[in-house]
Structure 1
Amino acid sequence: MHRSSRTGRSPRAAAVLAAALTVLGLLAGGCGPETGGVRGTPGAAGLRDPYFPKLGNGGYDVRRYALDLAFDPETGRLDGTARITARATQDLSALNLDLAGLTVGRASVDGEPAAVNRAADELTLRPRDELREGAEFTVTVDYAGVPEPLTDPDGSTEGWMNTAEGAVAVGEPAGSMTWFPGNHHPSDKAVYEIALTAPSGLTALSNGVRVSTEPVSGGRTRTVWRQSEPMASYLATVMIGRYATTTGTALDGIPVVTAVEPSLAAATAGLRAELPELLARQQERFGPYPFGAAGAVVTTDGLLGYALETQTRPVFPAAAFDRTTLVHELAHQWFGNSVTPETWRDLWLNEGFATYAEWLYEEEYGSVPTRQSFEAAFAEDANWAFPPADPPTAENLFDPPVYQRGAMVLHELRETVGDRVFDELLRGWAAKYRHANASTEDFTAYAEEVAGRDLGALWDVWLYGDGRPEEP
């Protein structure tokens, strides 16, 4: 319909008026004809997580990260380009990304320059054309700087950490935003391709399968890693340095890459060689291994104060690289990495299951019944500070009740429903939520479905109850 047919204005005058109205509409936050009249709103800056309310962003769902990173160990400078493919979950006029530090050079949406605003760790992009709900789009961000690690509420350090000759990046719960922009909440999982350019004398490792390694200019090498199954951003990792690496296979052909500081190679060789056997044992108990790669990285002590289940390639400080911890981090590949918590309040589903995996291993191969492990945990006062499903603050998120009392919940469940049903539940839980997110409520409902009975009394005492019961 042409406005001139009703007003008697000339076509030229009508065109001028239409253009003016379009400009006014855009200035008022509306949309031009390219978006079909959509009036979008900004996506939320934060997902209101119970412990990290500013983490993550609303209005879109990330499908894929393609990160191209160049690192200079001499200066500590990181130059990065992030290409983020996402789907709009609402009509969007603007969207946010989490990014700590680092300087953004330019950004675009679907190849068109986007306006950029920065406020602390929030990067806001306003595309030229608003995005319709359901539309797939690509955000490209060029950024650079010297990354700085984060200090968690519990005092531990995470994020990108420069070393004497390279760097180590780990991200639980928020550290990944120190080295790439993204939707950094566990509820938004995506596939990844991570390209690392570093001096040719160094090894560059990340998640998944190594797809290429080639020399580039300036005496550097570019290595590309691909994580084809969905991954929460806190499980992404980068290791750049001098590592002794070994390659092999497990589980009928899955590539296994382990890497270790050269001074630790001999001392860790035996345990690293056990990795395929440990995975096979866990697969028998938990169901099919959920990823197309596996491995481990061992660093020298003094850098990390903890081991971490980074997807397909957990990382360990030398002091923590023992069989029990390896069993724990490998179990996380099922419980935490494949089945990922909906919010950080659901973390006990990661740590309780991985701790119980230790107990199961000790029962089967160490002649220590799980009941004995349960009773030892029951006797520890620290395990009763709060219910595992409700840590009081972010500072308590990785405290003993989340691990030990979380495992006690599972043992009580096992004793209540019996070994046959419990084994079905272990495998079924990992299968039902494979590569997805799940909450505590999802788990309790699923357990009751498999058991065919109401388990409310068990949850009230062991999962949500305050204080230690009188009888173990």
Structure 2
Amino acid sequence: MNKIIKIVLISTTLFILFFIISLIMLVQGENNFLSRNISSIIKYLSIDNYELPKRNIDILEYELELDIFPNEGIIKENAKIKLVANDKSQKTIELDLYDNFKINFVKIEKTEISYNYSDNKIEIDRSNILTDTLNLEIDFEGEPQNLGFGSFWMEEKNNKKFVATLNEPIYASTWFPCNDTPADKALLTISITNDSNIVSLSNGKLKKTFSGGNRRTYIWNSNYPISTYLISIYSGEYKKFSQKYFSTTDTMDIDYYVTDVNLENAKKDFAKHPEYLKVLSELFGEYPFIKDKYGVAEILWQKGAMESQTITGIGSNFISGMNFYESMLIHELAHHWWGNSVTPKTWKDIWLNEGFATYSEALYYEKINGFDALKSTMSSFKSRISSESEQTLYNPGLNLFSSVVYNKGAWVLHMLRKEIGDSLFFSGIKSYYNKFKYGNSNTQDLIQIFETVSNRNLDKFFNQWIFEGTGILELEIKLSEKVISKNEIELKIDIKQIQTGYENYHFPLDIELEDSSGNIINISSYIKGNTTLKYKLKNRLKNAYFDKNNWLLAFIETETYR
């Protein structure tokens, strides 16, 4: 997901907290938004999500039926939820649901039962039900709250009404009852009824449409498990056009839904999606949701795009007809491998979503345009990372969508590639994807895969770049020459680490030395802390290049003394 980056430091007073939240930076055209209801996010993220499902339940399937009434700003909804209660002695089942709705009834196995509904939770009595697999039904109505980045909004543009949802990270429960954690994936069937002139979109494959009076219903079904934050509705007066993606074994529809005013521009901007799919599938493995679809829908949220599973939503101001935001389209598609198929167990590991999707942009451009494109793309990512950031990549707290998560996350993968080599890196990426697709993972799972593939202990690498280090590496390099004889020059290279975010990085450093006769010497040295290197040259030094191919997340200053 792409958004405005919030640079936030949690202070001891609420005043300071909200003052700092207001200081937001625009780091890239697609990274735009201002989060609301920050206190809810803080409360949620202060919980260790490994312990969060003390509910001890596993949602198997959501079947949601929504009637949307944009003129009144309300929904009427019936939610059927199939789940497993892992502890049969459990007397209640608790789900997330914002407590502003009117509950009409709650049933288990078609029998009405008692419940408690408060503090944005619904607690359902199951004391007389002994089976571990339960079928719940919750019928309710009201006006959904629009929280976070726009969890449920109804807007009008040019006298046309639009509805959209954006649940990330914790706001699916503003419009349907759920276990609102990324770790609990489930199957999904969703029925959306709106006015007859409205096209209603959701995740998965369209199974059925039908009309009744001045209303029209669309029923969508997902063949693959989905996390709550990726469930979406886009409902509006859309024009549709399509393409086909041909894999080595299958054919899939790519469907686009846009307003009539943006139709021709969208046809130009979206035209390369079959190529994006082909390249990313070659890099990581086949597109994960090929039995469903891939789609892009125009939405009125003008702050970026959201990778809702199989149906990316993109703000209308990013449809230009000039392909200005290609990297955004690649990023959101890449999330279908990294985030939607392989999903983090907790939000502490969000870099596994955003870092992977950001690096996927660079890998795409490398595949299409060569190594120089990779170098320039990584340079652009580097320029967005502050050396003074005090945020670790793992467990970013309130800074879920900061530049560190996106751009440093991409750089960690880039440096890991250099650390273990191309062959092992891409083998590890595919092994990681194949092991955890349609499931959940964390950083430790990733480490285990790459340690197995490379047969190396990578603790130092991940500790310095993910768990402990903040900011980036800063090097002060001084070169000095000493004439030993007419044909022998001793070159001394003093390398000093001057960053404040981590004391002692270990890293490979490529050095290219060019002497006065044009002779080139390429050296690769593994640096551990402050280091002095000495080399013998036949002629005086003309040029020295450090990390010329841009493999290191570092600011490097050099001085030469003769």
TM-score range with shorter-chain normalisation?
Answer: 0.7 to 0.9
Q: Please list, as runs of the form range in 1=range in 2, the aligned pairs for 1:79-94 lying within 5 A after superposition.
A: 79-91=76-88, 92-94=90-92
Q: Please list, as runs of the form range in 1=range in 2, the aligned pairs for 1:109-258 lying within 5 A after superposition.
A: 109-127=108-126, 129-132=128-131, 135-151=132-148, 157-164=149-156, 165-216=161-212, 218-250=213-245, 251=247, 252-258=250-256
- Residue 470 of structure 1 corresponds to 474
The alignment's TM-score, normalised by the length of structure 2, stands at: 0.71
- Residue 296 of structure 1 corresponds to 295
**Number of aligned pairs?**
415
Q: Please list, as runs of the form range in 1=range in 2, the aligned pairs for 1:404-423 lying within 5 A after superposition.
A: 404-423=407-426
- Residue 61 of structure 2 corresponds to 64
* Alpha-carbon distance between aligned partners in 1 of 2:85 and 2:326, rounded to the nearest angstrom: 44
Q: Which moved more, 1:304-313 or 1:291-300?
A: 291-300
Equivalent position amino acid for 1:245 in 2: K
Q: Using the TM superposition, give the Cα deviation of residue 124 of structure 1 relative to its aligned residue in structure 2, in angstroms.
A: 0.8
- Residue 36 of structure 1 corresponds to none
Secondary structure (helix, strand or coil) at the match of 2:353 reads: helix
Change (3 A) 1:105 1:288: same
Equivalent position amino acid for 1:161 in 2: W
Q: Using the TM superposition, give the Cα deviation of residue 76 of structure 1 relative to its aligned residue in structure 2, in angstroms.
A: 1.7
Cα deviations by residue, 1:17-40 (Å, 9 ceiling, x for unpaired): xxxxxxxxxxxxxxxxxxxxxxxx
* Alpha-carbon distance between aligned partners in 1 of 2:223 and 2:54, rounded to the nearest angstrom: 23
Q: Using the TM superposition, give the Cα deviation of residue 255 of structure 1 relative to its aligned residue in structure 2, in angstroms.
A: 2.5
* Alpha-carbon distance between aligned partners in 2 of 1:458 and 1:59, rounded to the nearest angstrom: 35
Contiguous gaps of at least 5 residues in structure 1: 1-45, 152-156
Q: Please list, as runs of the form range in 1=range in 2, the aligned pairs for 1:388-403 lying within 5 A after superposition.
A: 388-391=393-396, 393-394=397-398, 396-403=399-406
Does the CA-based 8 Å contact 2:234-2:299 persist in structure 1?
no
Equivalent position amino acid for 1:102 in 2: F
* Alpha-carbon distance between aligned partners in 2 of 1:438 and 1:49, rounded to the nearest angstrom: 19
- Residue 78 of structure 1 corresponds to 75
Does the CA-based 8 Å contact 2:362-2:374 persist in structure 1?
yes
More strand by share: 2
Does the CA-based 8 Å contact 2:56-2:85 persist in structure 1?
yes
Higher-Rg structure is 2
Q: Using the TM superposition, give the Cα deviation of residue 365 of structure 1 relative to its aligned residue in structure 2, in angstroms.
A: 2.2
- Residue 447 of structure 1 corresponds to 450
* Alpha-carbon distance between aligned partners in 1 of 2:147 and 2:314, rounded to the nearest angstrom: 19
Secondary structure (helix, strand or coil) at the match of 2:306 reads: coil
- Residue 348 of structure 1 corresponds to 351
Q: Using the TM superposition, give the Cα deviation of residue 369 of structure 1 relative to its aligned residue in structure 2, in angstroms.
A: 3.8
Contiguous gaps of at least 5 residues in structure 2: 1-40, 320-324, 476-553, 555-562
Does the CA-based 8 Å contact 2:385-2:404 persist in structure 1?
no
- Residue 332 of structure 2 corresponds to 329
Q: CA RMSD in A?
A: 2.1
More helix by share: 1
Q: Using the TM superposition, give the Cα deviation of residue 136 of structure 1 relative to its aligned residue in structure 2, in angstroms.
A: 1.1
The alignment's TM-score, normalised by the length of structure 1, stands at: 0.84
* Alpha-carbon distance between aligned partners in 1 of 2:127 and 2:341, rounded to the nearest angstrom: 36
- Residue 316 of structure 1 corresponds to 314
Q: Using the TM superposition, give the Cα deviation of residue 261 of structure 1 relative to its aligned residue in structure 2, in angstroms.
A: 1.8
- Residue 31 of structure 2 corresponds to none
- Residue 36 of structure 2 corresponds to none
* Alpha-carbon distance between aligned partners in 1 of 2:409 and 2:240, rounded to the nearest angstrom: 35
Does the CA-based 8 Å contact 1:159-1:174 persist in structure 2?
no
1:283 to 262, 275, 281: 281
* Alpha-carbon distance between aligned partners in 2 of 1:429 and 1:53, rounded to the nearest angstrom: 24
- Residue 305 of structure 1 corresponds to 303
Does the CA-based 8 Å contact 2:386-2:471 persist in structure 1?
no
Q: Which moved more, 1:406-415 or 1:290-299?
A: 290-299
Q: Using the TM superposition, give the Cα deviation of residue 314 of structure 1 relative to its aligned residue in structure 2, in angstroms.
A: 0.8
Does the CA-based 8 Å contact 1:385-1:401 persist in structure 2?
no
Does the CA-based 8 Å contact 1:64-1:191 persist in structure 2?
yes
Q: Using the TM superposition, give the Cα deviation of residue 267 of structure 1 relative to its aligned residue in structure 2, in angstroms.
A: 0.8
